[in-house]
A and B are shown apart, each in its own frame.
Chain A
Amino acid sequence: MAASSRRNPPPLPGAENQDPLSEMADEDSDEGEDIFVGNSNPVAEAFQPDTANGEEPADLFSEAETSTAVNSSITTSKSNGVHSDNENDLFAEVSVELSMENPSTTAKSSGAEFTPSLTRSATQPESMEQLEEEKDEDSFDMEVAVTNPEKIGDGMNAYMAYKVSTRTTLPMFRNRTFSVWRRFSDFLGLYEKLSVKHSLNGCIIPPPPEKSVVGMTKVKVGKDDSSSADFVERRRAALERYLQRVVCHPSLLQDPDVREFLERDELPRAVGTHTLSGAGFLKMINRASDAVSKMTIKISDSDAWFDNKLQEVESEELQLRKLHAVVDSLVNHRKELCGNTAVFAKSMAMLGNSEDNTALSRALSQLAEVEDKMETLHQEQAASDFFILAELLADYIRLLGAVRGCFEQRMKTWQRWQEAQSTLQKKREVEAKLLWANKPDKLQQAKEEITEWEGKVTQYERDFDRISVTVRKEFLRFEKEKSKDFKSQIVKYLESLLQSQQRHVKFWEAFLPEAKAIA
């Protein structure tokens, strides 16, 4: 209800009451399609001024659909306040029917229930405003965190389990805060499932962090040194960022797999994520064949936008790779500087010890201490260089790869369409020949085939249009996210630099009087 009001701005609260049924029916059917088909309907999407807006009602509906623990959640979810309670009450009544039925009946039944709720509509305005405000901020009120890596098991069968905690006010989840334990292959499994479902639509699916046989083996073997601790920390941070990106994505968030991943206590072991498995090989082969076909496709696109963007993406990826390499070597150099400073500090201390003059001796020892502190500073700086900057770059290099994949999907769809068109053409030629040769029975078959292929052509064309729209939308959203992400990370990085410089100043300021005191 509130959703409809958001859709058609001005005469909202009143209009709602006047014409609830038809409006409800319209939007519901759209939403319904969303649930059941799983493809984002461009029509529905086009309506939404703010993508977040569309999510709210969808969540509610889909929640009702899955039904299992609907009732309990209704009472706990609060941000949507009065509004959601009302909605859910409606659906609670029809929950039994919903799980089986198609959208239109859902709409009607909910519409039917609507009329008696005239009294409730009075309370709608506030909650609507509330909602609008929330949605304008584009906040999902949802936070995920990956913490507490723990080693489970021993030897080569050991693995790291991570605690995935979610804090959310979205009603579609059972509780407001909950956490589950997941392992790395679970994350990969999630990615696989999401790609299978969504990549065909041209969604940009955030890629998970890479597998690392070396790193994991070290951890498994139980080497308890800083490099394996670093590795685990890196992976944990990367997994967290991965999940955050997934939940930020509006259509991915709707996906039941994502919810299952976040909520369900025991997840079936994801198969096919092991590199050396049969599935792994299959993937490699597919990837190789894709690469070959990529080289031969070239869309004669009337829309140059896609071409330009693809080129941009490719050059950006190159730039980022270069930058990443440089940041890596910067980190190494800083570590080297760190080591050298430590050694120097020790040597200075010894010099101070052997110095005759007491004041000078003290000053030299002080200098040694300052250099020691410098060393810690440098080490921290190197860590922040790495964790903030380098990882950001690595993430975006992978993401850009995913974006390219998206564009490729679009190309594939186009190719399919073109192929269908040429097949249709051939069939038509065959028909013409048959007509000329006058063979009525074969003619019938030919005509059937033609209609079949005509249908396919129209469908593929629609597919292509749809995927183009999705890709475009996804790309714009990605760009926005990217610049926001980059900006915040760079600010964070600069702030860390700032802090270290401040401490720098403090240390030298402390040293100066000592130096001056030398007599």
Chain B
Amino acid sequence: MGSIAAQLFSGLSRDIKSGSSLGSVNVDLQTDATLQVDISDALSERDKVKFTVHTKSTLPNFKQNEFSVVRQHEEFIWLHDSFVENEEYAGYIIPPAPPRPDFDASREKLQKLGEGEGSMTKEEFTKMKQELEAEYLAIFKKTVAMHEVFLCRVAAHPVLRKDMNFHVFLEYNQDLSVRGKNKREKMEDFFKNVVKSADGVLVAGVKDVDDFFEHEKTFLLEYHNRVKDASSKSDRMIRSHKSKSPHCLIISTCLGKFFLKVSELFEKTRKIEARVAADEDLKLADLLKYYLRESQAAKDLLYRRGRALVDYENANKALDKARAKNKDVLQAETSQQVCCQKFEKISESAKQELIDFKTRRVAAFRKNLVELAELELKHAKGNLQLLQSCVGVLKGDT
């Protein structure tokens, strides 16, 4: 890696509190005093990011009232998976896991910049370096926010917050020695997913008794697909928006020779355009991405419920058969009971979860769309002002 990249990556620590975008995606977080979680600091080293998870709690099961631990991304994933695998939580929407911190793109760009150092002027080079650093910082802040949101959702959930693993995660100040999945486990996961999706299709085919869930099923399916689509398109759009800015940069340095004022103008509008792209990214793209994951989690919930329903119906059939043959009736009865209970438990909590999901979603969209509109307006007006003053100056001194 080039020297610049190395400089940037070694020991880059940022205080994210000041610029945290917590709550940008998830709005309804009732942070009550009994359990408050946040990420107070983060350190980026080479390949890893180390998050400092800070907890404030009045719950009795914690040894202290306030404490911090250092966690890495893999440990978050471990926590998430433990929720998913826990049968007890089958009836809840599990908050989606935060995405892996991905600095690859940024790293590549820095490397290219380092290689191309000779071919551009000193000022172009410093400008581009600053931009890339800012981009890197933005990605960094985002990944911190994603991890924080995950923890807060868990902390806000009435049932999940009591989970033992969660408490261990928050408190245990030694390394959890969670290793990433090795190849075999990854293959297992892969097969499990295949099975699950096939099963999912089967399960989805079963008509549900409850209208509410039936409706939700169809809605979520469609919604999920469309969000996925919208999210990818918005990504592309924002990427093109971002790539426009470097050009203005070069234009401004070239024009510098002719029209100082105009080059200054381009410089400023470029900064504004970059900020517009960044804001759009934050408010729109991130929103869509997050709800993509959440709607997937909701779909999972429905799948689990559907599975439980199928199991229940199968158990019923088995019971009928057993009763007819008058063999193993008790066994069939108990299994039917178990299935029934499971199904009903899931259904109950699922209904509430889905309603909550809806409210959360609407609120989050509202907040983000309003903020997006306000920011776009602000930037457009800023641009407008700059342009007007420049045109005024140029026309003035004819």
Contact = CB atoms under 8 A, between A and B. Distances in A.
Interface of A: 319, 322-323, 326-327, 329-330, 333-334, 336-337, 340-341, 343-344, 347-348, 350-351, 354-357, 359-360, 363-364, 367, 486-487, 490-491, 494-495, 497-498, 501-502, 504-505, 508-509, 511-512, 515-516, 518-519
Interface in B368-398: 369-370, 372-374, 376-377, 380-381, 383-384, 387-388, 390-391, 394-395, 398
Nearest to A509: B377
Contact of B237 (A341, A356, A519): A341
Contact of A350 (B226, B247, B269, B370): B226
A396 to B, nearest CB: 11
Interface residues of B, number: 50
Interface string B227-263: 1011001101101110110011011001101110010
Contacts, number: 133
A400 B287 CA distance: 52
Contacts of A327: 247, 251
Contact of B233 (A347, A357, A512, A515): A347
A353 to B, nearest CB: 8
B22 to A, nearest CB: 21
Contact of B229 (A350, A367, A501): A350
Given A333-B240, A360-B366, A518-B366, A508 B247 contact: no
B219 A501 contact: no
A495 B390 CA distance: 10
A88 B86 CA distance: 106
B375 to A, nearest CB: 9
Given A319-B257, A350-B226, A508-B373, 20 more contacts: A333-B243, A337-B244, A351-B226, A354-B222, A357-B358, A363-B365, A487-B394, A491-B391, A491-B394, A497-B387, A498-B384, A498-B391, A501-B383, A505-B377, A512-B373, A515-B372, A515-B373, A518-B362, A518-B366, A518-B369
11 contacts: A329-B247, A333-B247, A354-B222, A356-B358, A360-B365, A490-B262, A498-B391, A504-B376, A505-B377, A508-B376, A518-B362
A337 B248 CA distance: 15
B223 interface: yes
A470 B68 CA distance: 82
B376 A330 contact: no
A494 B240 CA distance: 22
Contact of B251 (A330, A354, A501): A330
Contacts of B390: 494
A354 B254 contact: no
B16 interface: no
Contacts of A497: 269, 387
A340 B236 contact: yes
B373 A511 contact: yes
Contacts of A333: 240, 243-244, 247
A333 B240 CA distance: 7
Contacts of A348: 230
Interface of B: 219, 222-223, 226-227, 229-230, 233-234, 236-237, 239-241, 243-244, 247-248, 250-251, 254-255, 257-259, 262, 265, 269, 358, 362, 365-366, 369-370, 372-374, 376-377, 380-381, 383-384, 387-388, 390-391, 394-395, 398
Contacts of A354: 219, 222-223, 226
A299 B237 CA distance: 56
Nearest to A486: B258
Specify which of B222, B243, B365 lies most central, judged by the most chain A CB atoms within 10 Å of its CB: B365
Given A333-B247, A360-B365, A515-B369, A323 B255 contact: yes
Specify which of B219, B237, B258, B387 lies most central, judged by the most chain A CB atoms within 10 Å of its CB: B237
B277 to A, nearest CB: 10
A505 B391 CA distance: 18
A330 B246 CA distance: 9
A344 B241 CA distance: 13
Contact of B380 (A344, A363, A508): A508
Given A486-B258, A518-B365, A518-B366, A512 B247 contact: no
B236 A330 contact: no
Nearest to B372: A515
B284 to A, nearest CB: 9
Contacts of A486: 258-259
B38 to A, nearest CB: 28
A501 B222 contact: no
Given A333-B240, A347-B229, A515-B373, A326 B251 contact: yes
A351 B366 contact: no
A344 B374 contact: no
Contacts of B380: 501, 504-505, 508
Contact of A494 (B241, B248, B262): B262
Q: Which A-B residue pairs are the 7 nearest by beta carbons?
A: A518-B366, A515-B369, A340-B237, A337-B240, A344-B233, A504-B380, A330-B247
A498 B383 CA distance: 8
Nearest to A356: B219
Specify which of A486, A498, A515 lies most central, judged by the most chain B CB atoms within 10 Å of its CB: A515
A326 B247 contact: yes
A516 B372 CA distance: 11
Contact of A343 (B233, B239, B259): B233
Contacts of B229: 347, 350-351
A516 B388 CA distance: 30
Given A319-B257, A326-B247, A498 B369 contact: no
Contacts of B377: 505, 508-509, 512
A385 B188 CA distance: 55
Contact of A340 (B233, B262, B374): B233
